[in-house]
Structure 1
Amino acid sequence: MSIQKNNVAIVGAGIGGLSTALALQRQGTNVTVYEAAPNIKPIGAGVGLAANAILGLEKLGVAKEVIGRGKQLTALQMLDDRGKIISDQNTALLGSQFEENNLVIHRADLHEVLLQKIKPVSIVLGKRCTNVMQQENQVLVSFADETQITVDLLIAADGIHSVVRQQLVPSSTPRFAGYTCWRAVIENPGINLNNMVSAETWAIAGRVGISPLPGNKIYWYACIKTHKNNPKMRQMTPKELANHFSGVHKPIAEMLNATSSDQLIWNDIADIKPLKQFVYGNIVLLGDAAHATTPNMGQGACQAIEDAVVLGQCLQQKISLKEALAYYEKRRIARTTRIIRLSRFLGWISHWQQPFLCKLRNGVFRIMPQAFTKKQLKWLFEVDF
Structure 2
Amino acid sequence: MIVQRRAVTAVLATAALLLTAGCSSDDGDPSGADASTSPSNTAAQSPPSGSAAEETPPAKGSVEVVRTVTTGLQSPWGLAPLPGGDLLVSSRDEATVTRVDEKTGKKTELGEVPGVSPAGEGGLLGIALSPDYASDRMVYAYFTSASDNRIVRMRYDEKRPAGEQLGAPDTVFRGIPKGVVHNGGRIAFGPDKMLYAGTGESGDTGLSQDKESLGGKILRMTPDGDPAPGNPFPDSAVYSYGHRNVQGLAWDDEQRLFAAEFGQDTWDELNAIKPGDNYGWPEAEGESDGSEFHDPLAQWSTDEASPSGIAHAEGSVWMAGLRGERLWRVPLKGTEAAADPQAFLEGEYGRLRTVVPAGGDKLWLMTSDTDGRGDAKESDDRILELRVT
**TM-score normalised by the chain length of structure 2:** 0.29
* Greater strand share, structure number: 2
